[in-house]
């Protein structure tokens, strides 16, 4: 039986509407998972939910144990992951409140444990990462958005930055030259780890602010929070609509 996991990011530390049937507090060979994993019914669909930053949002992006999180989901029988990411918007039109389903990633992170094969590597462990997001799962998200009338961006390049600080204006200009539409801090190595374990993976990105040098004035946490409240309601609606379409 196939099962879908939702990894919630900033603004989605719980999934409103999830009828929790059980919790799993897991410890993997890579260490502890970010939070208790919740298994339950979400509008008629059995799903697994994990709060990436912990339930109290105490884990910054560079401290998340991505390997433990992805390993735990696989151990629970998950075969596909919908990741929710709060991001900054770089290119024109990527403003606060926009939802994007990215199709590419550029990884700018460093000093993160980014593979399951660091200690026991074989030549067959080279994964094909040409298309970092699963296209079938991406299309389910896109079609779900269309069915409920959500205006989304159907593709884009996610640039993953280390954090926890926000980027400088010069760094954003560099990312834009590289082709990035979005900037975030949690997209990698999460996507690559899922690919290493053979799990389908796609992302719903909610733009919560214009990136450094693109915004009018200072980027504030209060401003980001305001966008998160309304935006995550749309994300939940999108997830519900998409689950019907996933096969």
- To the question of whether residue 22 is assigned a binding role by annotation, the answer is no
Nearest to 37 by CA among 93, 81, 101, 2: 81
- To the question of whether residue 183 is assigned a binding role by annotation, the answer is no
pLDDT of residue 221: 86
- To the question of whether residue 175 is assigned a binding role by annotation, the answer is no
pTM of the entire predicted model? 0.95
Cβ-contact 223, 209 below 8 angstroms:
yes
Cβ-contact 52, 7 below 8 angstroms:
yes
pLDDT of residue 148: 94
pLDDT of residue 95: 95
What is the homologous superfamily of the domain 4-235 according to CATH?
Nucleoside phosphorylase domain (3.40.50.1580)
Q: Tell me how far apart the alpha carbons of residues 174 and 35 are, in angstroms, rounded to a whole number.
A: 35
Q: What is the mean pLDDT of each run of 10 residues along the chain (247 residues)?
A: 91 90 94 96 94 94 97 97 98 96 98 88 82 98 96 97 95 98 98 98 97 90 90 95 90
Cβ-contact 108, 175 below 8 angstroms:
yes
- How many CA atoms does the CB half-sphere of 146 hold within 13 Å? 8
Q: By 3-state DSSP, what share of the chain in percent is helix, strand and coil, each rounded to 5?
A: 30, 25, 45
- To the question of whether residue 210 is assigned a binding role by annotation, the answer is yes
**Domain parsing of the chain, residue ranges:** 4-235
- The label of the residue with tokens 């507090």 reads 25
Q: Tell me how far apart the alpha carbons of residues 67 and 246 are, in angstroms, rounded to a whole number.
A: 25
Q: Tell me how far apart the alpha carbons of residues 82 and 6 are, in angstroms, rounded to a whole number.
A: 5
- To the question of whether residue 10 is assigned a binding role by annotation, the answer is yes
pLDDT of residue 2: 83
- To the question of whether residue 174 is assigned a binding role by annotation, the answer is no
């Amino acid at each position: 039986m196939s099962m879908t996991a939702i990894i919630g990011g900033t603004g989605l530390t719980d999934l409103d509407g999830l009828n929790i049937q059980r919790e799993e507090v897991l410890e993997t060979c890579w260490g502890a998972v970010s939070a208790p994993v919740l298994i339950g019914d979400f509008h008629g669909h059995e799903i697994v939910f994990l709060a990436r930053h912990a339930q109290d949002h105490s884990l910054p992006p560079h401290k998340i144990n991505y390997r433990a999180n992805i390993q735990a989901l696989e151990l629970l029988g998950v075969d596909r992951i919908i990741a929710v990411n709060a991001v900054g918007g770089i290119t024109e039109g990527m403003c606060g409140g926009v939802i994007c389903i990215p199709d590419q990633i550029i990884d700018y992170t460093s000093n993160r444990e980014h593979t399951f094969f660091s200690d026991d590597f074989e030549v067959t462990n080279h994964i094909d990462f040409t298309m970092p997001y699963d296209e079938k799962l991406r299309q389910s998200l896109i079609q779900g958005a269309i069915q409920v009338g959500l205006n989304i961006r159907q593709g884009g390049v996610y640039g993953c930055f280390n954090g926890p600080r926000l980027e400088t204006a010069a760094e954003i200009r560099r990312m834009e030259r590289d082709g990035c539409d979005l900037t975030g801090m949690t997209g990698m190595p999460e996507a690559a780890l899922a690919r290493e374990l053979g799990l389908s993976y796609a992302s719903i990105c909610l733009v919560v602010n214009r990136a450094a040098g693109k915004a009018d004035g200072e980027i504030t946490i209060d401003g980001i929070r305001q966008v998160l409240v309304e935006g995550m309601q749309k994300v939940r609606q999108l997830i519900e609509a998409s689950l019907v379409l996933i096969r």
